[in-house]
């Protein structure tokens, strides 16, 4: 291993989920040299909706209209929650810098500054979130106003049923009509999947055929909804063209994971992060991180075995939880997989899960993770910083049940920004 080629960098980011990608963006924009390694992460499973905070306390399922008030309540009630280490300004700044990057390459987001919005899920329930892909915004407004709208699904598409959405949401959107169409040239698609339809929508020919199919059904309709299929690479242009051609507002609804909005984010991050100078090693795994005597860290990585080495002044661990690979549970303990960092977890395995799977309080195992100081440096059980310039961010962090609290991406971006800023300040 000592013969591996060595590169020197300011920062090494482990992980290519939203936390790792945003950390790389923030660091590169601040002039740092950055190497990054990881596999796809949860991005591709994400609905594309970006939460700040919506549910607290989870046991009461209390939904908050104002995400910032929810965040303040969580910080006050849960002093170990990652949000207790950041301010509203941090979250806004982190999202702002991320939106600038995404928007530069055509992915726009919309939101109300001080309010959560309601997006219909593919099964017709309401999801409370903060920032919404611009392609979904007309649906948020049409739903809020009970506007006359037409929701379309497609013959043979099992992922999405317009009728199910309309039936579930019922009287709350009584002016929503549904219809089923045959997607252009779908006879050649086997199976019919939103990802394939989205690729096909990149072709002008497909779009023109679709517009012709929809146009006869627009009488009295103010908005037309489809499952998320409006392309992968030129989504903004497709939305604009479709609204112009149909003469009504157009919106997408999220679909089940792995969804097209998740694919768009993945494709944009993976394809464009190098424009900032980030040296991205996709599908690479970090095998070891060793502190050196001079305060730097030696990182070895490769596809199946270590084939490269970076010596970096700092490391951001954005390795996720069990799905991402940052945490691993053996028969007795939960361990952090890359550096063997201390993991905050219930004392006994018996306590990981409650007896009832659907217990409204959730399960203690969902809040296990790495505990950090206010600079997002991992600490041990006595609160002592473990490594001077190693930072843990995103869903790897302890004391958050992001799935129930609806705060996943907000924590990912805010912790990444604070970690990068702390590293810069330490230089």
Ligand X SMILES: Cc1cc2nc3c(=O)[nH]c(=O)nc-3n(C[C@H](O)[C@H](O)[C@H](O)COP(=O)(O)OP(=O)(O)OC[C@H]3O[C@@H](n4cnc5c(N)ncnc54)[C@H](O)[C@@H]3O)c2cc1C
Task: Note the residues at the interface with ligand X (CB under 6 A).
Answer: 14-20, 37-39, 41-43, 45-47, 49-51, 257, 285-286, 318-320, 323-326, 337-338, 394-396, 402, 408-409, 412
Minimum CB–partner distance for residue 206 and ligand X (Å)? 28
CB of 3 to ligand X, least distance (A): 21
Of the candidates 326, 323, 322, 344, the one whose C-alpha atom is nearest the C-alpha of residue 336 is 326
Q: Are 258 and 44 in contact (CB under 8 A)?
A: yes
Minimum distance from residue 190 beta carbon to ligand X (Å): 26
Q: Based on CB atoms, which residue is closest to ligand X, 135 or 409?
A: 409
- Output the six-digit token pair for 410: 């907000």
| In the complex, minimum distance from the CB of residue 159 to ligand X, in angstroms, rounded to a whole number | 14
Give how far the C-alpha of residue 359 lies from the chain's centroid of Cα atoms, to the nearest Å.
25
Residue linked to tokens 């296990």: 368
Closer CB to ligand X, 224 or 368, in the complex: 368
Nearer CB in complex with ligand X: 50/68: 50
Distance of closest approach, residue 79 Cβ to ligand X, in angstroms: 21
Copy the structure tokens of residue 120: 């219909």
When the beta carbons of 41 and 231 are compared against ligand X, the nearer one is 41
332/14 Cα distance (integer angstroms) = 26
Would you say 242 or 413 has its CB closer to ligand X?
413
Minimal distance in Å, beta carbon 89 to ligand X?
A: 19
**Tokens 């517009």 found at:** 211
**In angstroms, what is the minimal distance from the CB of 424 to ligand X?**
21
Helices (H), 190-325: 194-200, 204-214, 235-246, 260-272
Distance separating alpha carbons of residues 299 and 312, to the nearest angstrom: 8
> Of the two residues 242 and 318, which places its CB atom closer to ligand X in the complex?
318
Cis omega before residue 191 (within 30°)? yes
DSSP label of 71: H
Locus of tokens 């792995």: 258
Choice between 124 and 320, CB closer to ligand X: 320
**CA dihedral sign, ordered 399, 24, 51, 40:** negative
Q: Among residues 184 and 325, whose Cβ is nearest to ligand X?
A: 325
Return the H-helix or E-strand segment holding 26.
helix 18-29
Q: How far is the CB of 325 from ligand X (least distance, A)?
A: 3
Q: Which residues contact 28 (CB under 8 A, 6 or more apart)?
A: 34, 273, 276, 277, 278
Omega of the bond prior to 57 within 30 degrees of 0, cis?
yes
Would you state the structure tokens that stand for residue 88, as one six-digit string? Answer: 């509203």
Q: Are 56 and 375 in contact (CB under 8 A)?
A: no
Backbone angles phi, psi at 123, to 5 degrees: -105, 10
Residue 115 tokens read as 């309010």
What's the min distance (Å) between Cβ of 53 and ligand X? 10
Minimum gap (Å) between residue 180 Cβ and ligand X: 27
Residues in CB range of 258: below 8 A, 6 or more apart: 44, 45, 195
18 versus 278: smaller Cβ distance to ligand X: 18
Nearer to ligand X, 93 or 321 (CB): 321
Nearest to 26 by CA among 309, 406, 419: 419
């Amino acid at each position: 291993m000592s013969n591996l080629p060595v590169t020197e960098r300011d920062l090494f980011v482990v992980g290519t989920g939203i936390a790792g990608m945003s950390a790389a963006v923030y660091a590169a924009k601040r002039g740092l040299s950055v190497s990054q390694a990881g596999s796809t992460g949860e991005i591709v499973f994400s609905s594309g909706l970006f939460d700040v905070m919506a549910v607290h306390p989870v046991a009461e399922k209390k939904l908050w209209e104002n995400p910032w008030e929810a965040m303040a309540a969580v910080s006050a009630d849960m002093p170990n929650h990652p949000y207790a280490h950041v301010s509203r300004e941090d979250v806004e700044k982190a999202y702002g810098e991320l939106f600038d990057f995404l928007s530069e390459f055509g992915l726009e987001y919309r939101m109300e500054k001080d309010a959560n919005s309601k997006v219909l899920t593919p099964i017709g329930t309401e999801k409370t979130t903060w920032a919404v892909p611009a392609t979904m915004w007309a649906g948020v407004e049409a739903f809020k106003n009970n506007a006359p709208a037409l929701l379309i699904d497609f013959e043979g598409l099992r992922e999405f049923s317009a009728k199910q959405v309309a039936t579930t949401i019922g009287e709350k959107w009584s002016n929503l009509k549904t219809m089923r169409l045959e997607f252009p040239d779908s006879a050649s698609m086997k199976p019919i999947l939103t990802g394939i339809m989205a690729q096909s929508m990149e072709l002008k020919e497909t779009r023109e055929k679709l517009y012709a199919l929809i146009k006869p059904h627009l009488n009295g309709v103010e908005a037309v909804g489809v499952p998320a299929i409006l392309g992968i690479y030129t989504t903004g242009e497709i939305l604009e063209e479709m609204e112009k051609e149909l003469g009504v507002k157009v919106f997408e609804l999220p679909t089940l994971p792995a969804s097209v909005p998740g694919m768009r984010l993945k494709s944009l991050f993976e394809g464009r992060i190098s424009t900032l100078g980030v040296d991205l090693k996709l599908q690479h795994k970090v095998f070891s991180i060793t502190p050196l005597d001079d305060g730097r860290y030696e990182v070895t990585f490769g596809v199946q075995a270590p084939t490269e080495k970076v010596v970096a002044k700092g490391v951001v661990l954005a390795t996720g939880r069990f799905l991402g690979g940052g945490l691993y549970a053996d028969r007795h303990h939960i361990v952090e997989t890359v550096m063997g960092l201390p993991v905050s977890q219930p004392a006994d395995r018996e306590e990981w899960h409650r007896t009832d799977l659907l217990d409204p309080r959730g399960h203690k195992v969902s809040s296990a993770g790495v505990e950090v100081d206010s600079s997002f440096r991992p600490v041990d059980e006595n609160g002592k910083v473990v490594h001077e310039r190693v930072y843990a961010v995103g869903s790897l962090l302890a004391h958050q049940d992001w799935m129930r609290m609806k705060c996943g991406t907000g924590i990912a971006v805010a912790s990444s920004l604070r970690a990068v800023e702390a590293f810069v300040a330490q230089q």
